[in-house]
Amino acid sequence: MATKKVVYKIGDDVSTDIIYPGRFMATVLPAETPLYAFADNPELNARLKSGEIPAGSAFVAGNNFGCGSSREQAVSCLKGYDLMIVARNISRIFLQSAINLGLNIVICPDIDAAEGDELEVADGKVHNRTSGKSFAINPLPKARQAIIDAGGLIPYTRKLLLKA
């Protein structure tokens, strides 16, 4: 996997309302949801919308990332920027939505990284190329990872049907 730069570090208990505020729930199109990612954090939202944060960048999160409601838009808005989320752990509902939509997620209970660090995911570990440290990941079951790798449940199913 290619090296990803950490562009944002966020703490514990980041709810779906922080990721995608509830007042934008009427917006459901994947092409539009990214506009409202972290809308209550004007600086981060502006960096995302302006392209200052390039596709493929990494966000590092603490525990319980994506807690709260089951709003799919919280995943869709992150997927729209092609972000990789490396978190100590991810809430159950957010995890399932991330798999269904193909959001690049990595569960790494001991991750230690700062903004600007370069991360690489390989051999069951997150390698922090900046600090020289490596951290074990909790791999997803192969079937779930295959769905993410295919880009989500719909592309995965389409791929299976085309094989048949």
146: helix, coil or strand?
A: helix
Q: How far apart are CA 74 and CA 6, in angstroms?
A: 20
Report the distance separating Cα 37 and Cα 140, nearest Å.
25
Summarize pLDDT for 80-107 with one digit per residue, the tens.
Answer: 999 999 999 999 999 999 999 999 999 9
Instruction: Look up the CATH number of the domain holding residue 8.
Output: 3.20.19.10
The yes-or-no verdict on residue 2 having pLDDT over 80 is no
- Evaluate whether 108 touches 137 at the Cβ level (below 8 Å): yes
Does residue 115 have a pLDDT over 80?
Answer: yes
Counted domains in the chain: 1
Instruction: Count other C-beta atoms under 10 Å from residue 78's C-beta.
Output: 27
For residues 93 and 109, give the distance between their C-alpha atoms in angstroms, rounded to a whole number: 18
Structural domain of 134: 4-163
CA 34 to chain centre: 13
Residue 20: phi and psi, rounded to 5, are -145, 95
Question: How far is it, in rounded angstroms, from Cα 128 to Cα 104?
Answer: 17
**Going by C-beta distance under 8 Å and a sequence separation of 6 or more, which residues neighbour residue 34?**
48, 49, 76, 77, 78, 80, 81
pLDDT tens for 24-82 read 999 888 899 999 999 999 999 999 999 999 999 999 999 999 999 889 999 999 999 99
Are 83 and 113 in contact by the 8 Å Cβ rule? The answer is: no
Question: Which pLDDT does position 1 carry in this prediction?
Answer: 62
Pairing of strands 104-107, 4-9: unpaired
Asked whether the beta carbons of 116 and 66 are under 8 A apart, the reply is no
The pLDDT of residue 27: 85
